[in-house]
Amino acid sequence: MNFGDNIRANTNEIVAELNVTGRVFDPDALTRGTQLHPTKKWLAGDLIGRSSRRYEHNGWSIATPKRLEVEDALDELLSTLEEHWDELLGATREQQVELSIVVYARSFVPGIQIRADQLRRFAELNASIDVDLYDLARENDG
């Protein structure tokens, strides 16, 4: 491990992701309608990662690159979506929408703050919020 790897190994990483799912939902239609390119899309019955579990619903997801702060990740996600907001609103009206925040806490467990303006925008999509926190600092302690 070199010096740069050590810094990264001890740096928090945060990803914000918008997930859209539904039983009768065409992920490709969402891509065409919004002109947004998803980070991931799947169909019901597809394998979930490398597991033997399968998705129950069709889905579409767009995620930010890893950031150091929740607020910055949410700002970046909203910025990505902004130009296509009206199309996204229409296309997701009948679907399940989730804002997923994933925190890989390598050095400390950060506070998670979501500003009111950010909450209002995701509420327009009727998005639920899911936060996954992985406390990896303990693993680094040996």
**β-pair partners for 42:** 59
CB 65 within 8 A of CB 59: no
Quote the percentage of the chain above a pLDDT of 90: 80
* Residue that the structure tokens 């997923």 belong to: 100
Mean pLDDT of 37-45: 96
Distance of CA 107 to the CA centre of its chain: 21
CB 104 within 8 A of CB 10: no
Q: Is it the case that residue 4 has pLDDT exceeding 80?
A: no
Q: Which residues contact 86 (CB under 8 A, 6 or more apart)?
A: none
Using alpha carbons, list the distances in angstroms from residue 3 to 79, 108, 115, 133. 33, 19, 35, 26
Q: Is it the case that residue 14 has pLDDT exceeding 50?
A: yes
Give the model's confidence band at 73: pLDDT under 50 very low, under 70 low, under 90 confident, else very high: very high
DSSP 75-131: HHHHHHHHTTHHHHHHHHTTSEEEEEEEEEESSS-------HHHHHHHHHTT-EEEE
Mean pLDDT of 100-124: 94
**0.75 cut: is pTM over it?**
yes
CB 118 within 8 A of CB 74: yes
Distance CA 30, CA 52 (A): 27
